[in-house]
């Protein structure tokens, strides 16, 4: 816990000046609260026994003093509420930026197991609660400690026996708080997990809402959501049971303090050891004293929320990307496109079977290589190893003789263009989605890329042309249109190495013809890997590799493989 707290405190560093200013004004506000009961004591215990004229004269001075005190307290509260919150928002900004940047570094293996909704929960609600703690926590602590300490010292000066009667309850109160603290922390952590699960379920449902409606399965989804929602409610009930016990206990103890003071005060007055004005002052200070205790109760809930959120924040931040640049990684430039696989093996996790085993392959620059074979034999995985979406378990992949692990990931991926079957288009305009392939590209470059991808004609048919908003994931476009935009994006990038991952398998015949024409135009004079489902689309490939669970079992041209009468010939006849 102390390790995480130290890391949490580091986020104050850029804002030390405003933090200490916030603490200063919190101290001023606490001082104002402590001074007012002393003024009451002076008026009720001293001033009322003086001459009327002097009383009125003194009251004017007291009124001016209290007006200044009120103005100071007012500005102090404004500073805390305004600048203090801005400081918290800036820290939330920093943490969110840090978390988002870290997530960009994590490799595919992390996202294979992660749920988007749960990650969203960590970026939004968790971080909000963390910064609420980072802002309000210190100021609540300083206000409470100053008020409690100040009230104790003043009460001690007024009457030691009354102070003892008030403070005898405090050790028991802190023992009670310590006992419930751990239970509340675990309960609030379970709340975080449950709300993240609900967010994941909502994200999954809304992303697939068209599938839900096409099967008329709204009731099934409602029932699934109800299970998660019930789990969250149950976790909330558990945490609030502890919270209720805590608040009830603290309420009893603070009331007990007042009862102790009243009873002890009555005894002392009866024995002529205390006057009425001191008892009134004492009771006012008991109010000043018990109010920060209630603040500390609220702080306890805030701390549990914020700290469990920070623990979840650190869980992500402490994940080291399993694919990182070497310390001496160089930039990959002037790529010709020769690619070699040298005894390459790969498996996704420890203690799992190899997806690829002892792959050896030489691909000369500009070659057009097709990969075919049954589902699940590693065609996509083999291509994913080239841009280092995953790292080889054994062996080496080289581009122009350079081990891809010896170059930076950014420069490596800048040399590779990928067109997938599952196209992802961002919410925004057609222009923005094509320009994503080359940030900073001019409009003429974007239009030229669209023309090369056979997309310019259908784009201009829209009323807003290139400025047409395509909706979430390009929902307003057809499959062929989305695919041509993804091809235009790669045309704009203009890389020397291409990977086509079943880029036409989900299209109708007409769309496939247009897209295939675009792909062949894009592949010209580039080293190209094509993963094919429809074997008719790769008959012109310079070399076709047939992958099975045993590795590359056959290779050759379309005609050569048909003549062999092996696996490829069976696959071809199956799809004929």
Write out pLDDT tens, residues 504-516: 665 666 666 777 7
Average pLDDT over residues 549-553: 84
Which tens digit of pLDDT belongs to each residue from 109-138?
Answer: 777 777 777 777 778 777 878 887 887 788
Q: How far apart are CA 483 and CA 495, in angstroms?
A: 18
Tokens in use for 378?
Answer: 């590693």
Report whether 526 contacts 494 (CB < 8 A).
no
* Closest CA relative to residue 285, chosen from 174, 168, 163: 163
Q: According to the model, what pLDDT value does residue 395 have? A: 92
Q: According to the model, what pLDDT value does residue 403 have? A: 92
Q: According to the model, what pLDDT value does residue 505 have? A: 60
Tokens in use for 346?
Answer: 């790969």
Vertex 558, ends 553 and 564: CA angle to 5°?
55
pLDDT > 90 fraction of the chain, expressed in percent and rounded = 5
Average pLDDT over residues 534-549: 82
Estimate to the nearest angstrom the gap between the alpha carbon of 457 and the chain centroid.
Answer: 40
Please give the helix or strand (H or E) that residue 150 lies within, else none: helix 127-158
* Closest CA relative to residue 317, chosen from 126, 151, 552, 575: 126
DSSP 3-state of 477: coil
Average pLDDT over residues 453-471: 87
Q: How far apart are CA 42 and CA 281, in angstroms?
A: 9
Tokens in use for 65?
Answer: 């003093």
Numbers of helices and strands, H then E, in the chain: 20, 10
Q: How far apart are CA 423 and CA 439, in angstroms?
A: 19
Q: Which CATH class is domain 2-317?
A: mainly alpha
Q: According to the model, what pLDDT value does residue 563 have? A: 84
Higher-scoring residue by pLDDT: 23, 36:
23
Q: How far apart are CA 255 and CA 263, in angstroms?
A: 12
Which tens digit of pLDDT belongs to each residue from 210-262?
Answer: 667 656 677 877 887 788 788 778 877 877 787 788 778 777 877 888 788 78
Report whether 490 contacts 437 (CB < 8 A).
yes
For the chain, how big is the Rg over CA atoms in Å? 35
Domain boundaries, the chain: 2-317
Q: How far apart are CA 543 and CA 560, in angstroms?
A: 10
Q: How far apart are CA 153 and CA 392, in angstroms?
A: 69
Distances 23 to 19, 79, 185, 207, 432 between C-alpha atoms, Å: 6, 10, 26, 46, 46
């Amino acid at each position: 816990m102390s390790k995480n707290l130290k890391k949490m405190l580091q986020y104050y560093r850029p804002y030390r000046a405003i933090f200490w200013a916030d603490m200063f004004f919190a101290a001023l506000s606490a001082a104002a609260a402590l001074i007012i009961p002393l003024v009451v004591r002076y008026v009720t215990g001293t001033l009322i026994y003086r001459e009327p004229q002097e009383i009125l004269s003194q009251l004017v001075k007291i009124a001016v003093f209290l007006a200044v005190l009120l103005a100071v307290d007012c500005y102090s509260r404004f500073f805390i509420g305004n600048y203090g919150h801005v400081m918290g928002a800036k820290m939330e900004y920093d943490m969110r930026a840090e978390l988002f940047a870290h997530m960009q570094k994590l490799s595919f293996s992390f996202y294979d197991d992660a749920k988007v909704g749960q990650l969203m929960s960590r970026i939004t609600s968790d971080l909000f609660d963390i910064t609420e703690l980072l802002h309000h926590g210190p100021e609540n602590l300083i206000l409470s400690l100053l008020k409690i300490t100040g009230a104790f010292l003043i009460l001690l000066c007024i009457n030691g026996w009354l102070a003892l009667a008030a403070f005898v309850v405090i050790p028991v109160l802190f023992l009670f708080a310590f006992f419930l603290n751990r239970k509340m922390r675990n309960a609030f952590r379970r709340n975080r997990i449950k709300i993240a699960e609900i967010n994941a379920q909502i994200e999954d449902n809304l992303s697939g809402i068209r599938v839900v409606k096409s099967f008329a399965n709204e009731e099934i989804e409602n029932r699934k959501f109800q299970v998660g929602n019930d789990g969250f409610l149950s976790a909330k009930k558990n945490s609030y049971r502890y919270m209720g016990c805590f608040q009830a206990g603290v309420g009893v103890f603070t009331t007990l303090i007042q009862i102790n003071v009243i009873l002890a005060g009555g005894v002392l007055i009866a024995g002529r050891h205390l006057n009425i004005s001191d008892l009134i002052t004492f009771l006012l200070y008991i109010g000043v004293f018990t109010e920060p205790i209630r603040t500390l109760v609220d702080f306890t809930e805030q701390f549990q929320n914020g700290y469990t959120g920070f623990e979840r924040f650190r869980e992500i931040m402490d994940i080291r990307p399993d694919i990182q640049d070497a310390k001496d990684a160089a930039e990959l430039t002037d790529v010709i496109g020769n690619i070699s696989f040298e005894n390459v093996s790969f498996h996704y996790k420890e203690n799992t079977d190899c997806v690829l085993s002892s792959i050896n392959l030489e691909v000369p620059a500009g070659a057009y290589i097709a990969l075919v074979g049954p589902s699940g034999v590693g065609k996509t995985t083999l291509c994913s190893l080239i841009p280092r979406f995953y790292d080889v378990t054994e062996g080496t992949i080289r581009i122009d003789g350079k081990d891809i692990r010896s170059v930076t990931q950014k420069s490596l991926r800048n040399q590779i263009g990928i067109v997938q079957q599952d196209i992802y288009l961002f919410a925004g305009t057609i222009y923005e989605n094509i320009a994503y392939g080359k940030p900073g590209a001019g409009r003429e470059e974007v239009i030229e890329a669209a023309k090369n991808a056979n997309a310019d004609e259908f784009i201009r048919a829209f009323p807003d042309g290139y400025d047409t908003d395509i909706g979430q994931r390009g929902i307003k476009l057809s499959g062929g249109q989305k695919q041509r935009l993804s091809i235009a994006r790669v045309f704009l990038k203009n890389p020397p190495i291409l990977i086509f991952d079943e880029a036409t398998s989900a299209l109708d015949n007409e769309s496939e013809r247009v897209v295939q024409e675009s792909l062949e135009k894009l592949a010209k004079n580039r080293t190209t890997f094509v993963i094919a489902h429809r074997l008719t689309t790769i008959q012109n490939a310079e070399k076709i590799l047939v992958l099975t669970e045993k590795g590359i079992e056959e290779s050759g041209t379309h005609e050569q493989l048909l003549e062999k009468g092996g696996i490829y010939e069976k696959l071809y006849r199956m799809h004929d």
